[in-house]
Structures are given as structure tokens and as C-alpha cells.
Amino acid sequence: MTAALRGEWVKLRTAPAGLAVTLLLAAGLTAAGAALGGGDAIDPVQLRLLGVRLGQAAVAAAGVQLIAGEYGTGLIRMSLLAVPRRTHLLAAKATLLTAGVLPVAVLGVGIAVLTLPPSGPLFRAAAESILYLILIGLLGLGVGAAVRGSAAAVGIVLALLYLMPILLQMIPDPDWQRALYRLTPATAVQVIATTVDAAALPIGPWPALGVVAAWTVFALAIGVFTLHRRSAIR
């Protein structure tokens, strides 16, 4: 595992700056909520954290790019020769991705809520937003490992995050709509930022984050299965 981490770190240091640019874009988009200001909004925390909805797209793309990009260039063959244990390879990528997304998420979320008065709900929403962005990056990594194509993998993740809530609104039965809404990863981005009238939400903030974690674990499991079952050729 140590060798796998070292190899991934060397690749990140010598690779083009695309991943770094994507993560910096994520920080900027996440911090963009600060430009909206708090004002007299009913829930100023939720308003300031609207940028997380934008930043998550760049974070997901970074996760996808970390492995699907290697399939596009053929570098995956060298990676698998250097690290025959494919689970170790994906774990190393997940570790470095987490290490990269964490400061980006802290920076973006921190800027977004910097001028708000400190409170327990604010700290909870900020901490969950940071964890959410890390999970979305890992979700992108899992989908990228499973699908192997950057464009297709990004499309799948963005559909989960942006398109699924729209599709759920078309379900005529409100009970089914509410039940399915609790199971979508896109639910969390709104729920975790809510600090006013949280009892009216279909699911609590921490359970919503748990749903995202479950989707992420599932995607990574499929990614590991795909890495073991298929060759390095797309």
C-alpha cells in the first residue's frame, strides 16, 4: 500500500496541472456562495452554502479524472503493472484524492461562511459540507473506475446530483416521491446546509450524509470489482 501511495504521488507531481486546476475551480465555486451575502434571508447559512452545489461538480470531475483519465491515455497499464493488487491502487487514489479535496473544501466552505456569526448549526453545516464534498469526490472515483470513460462517468455522477431531483418531482405519488427523495445523494446538499426549520425536511442532515456515504461505498465497490474482472483495455 505504501508503494502504491508513493507511485500515485509521483504521478500527481509529474502529471499536467489539470487535476489541480479542477480542484481550485471547486474551491472557487464553493466559495461563490459568499458573494450572495446573508442579508435578511430566512436561512443565511443555506444561502451562503449554495456554492457547494456548484463546487460538487468540479470535485466529482476531479475524482473521475484521477482514474478514468488513465484509461484514456493508456497509463492505467503501467499503474497496474506497478501495483498488481488493484484494490491497493484504488485505495491509494482514494487516499490522495481525499487529501486533495479536504483543503479545497475547507477553503471554499470557510470563505463562504466566514462572515456569519458562529453557532452550533453553522459549524455542523460547514463540517458536513466539507465531508459531503470529499464523499462526492470519492463517488466520482468509484464511478470512473467502473465506467472507465471520463465523459460517461462525469455524466452519470452529474445526473445523480442534478438530474435525479428533477425526475423525482415528476412522480405523482407524494409518498413515493418523499421516500425516494430520501435515498438520492442529491438530497444531502440541501439538507446539510439547512439550519432553520430542519424538522420539515424529509431526512435529517446526518442521515442524508449517510446516504451519500452509502452511494460512495457502493460506487467504489463496483469500481474494485471492475478493476479485478476486466483488463486494463477499455
Tens of pLDDT, residue by residue over 108-119, are 999 888 888 899
Integer Cα distance of 203 and 179 in angstroms: 9
Give the pLDDT confidence of 134-176 residue by residue, as tens digits. 999 999 999 998 998 889 999 999 999 998 888 888 888 888 8
Domain that holds residue 132: 2-229
> Would the pTM count as exceeding 0.85?
yes
Fill in the amino acid letter for 216.
T
Domain count, the chain: 1
Q: Is residue 234 part of a domain?
A: no
Q: Which residue has the higher pLDDT, 128 or 75?
A: 128
pLDDT of residue 4: 56
How far is Cα of residue 162 from the mean position of the Cα atoms in its chain? 13
Q: Is residue 35 part of a domain?
A: yes
- For the chain, how long is the longest CA-to-CA vector? 58
Q: Is residue 83 part of a domain?
A: yes
pLDDT of residue 208: 93
Q: Is residue 14 part of a domain?
A: yes
Instruction: Pull the grid cell for residue 108.
Output: 471554499
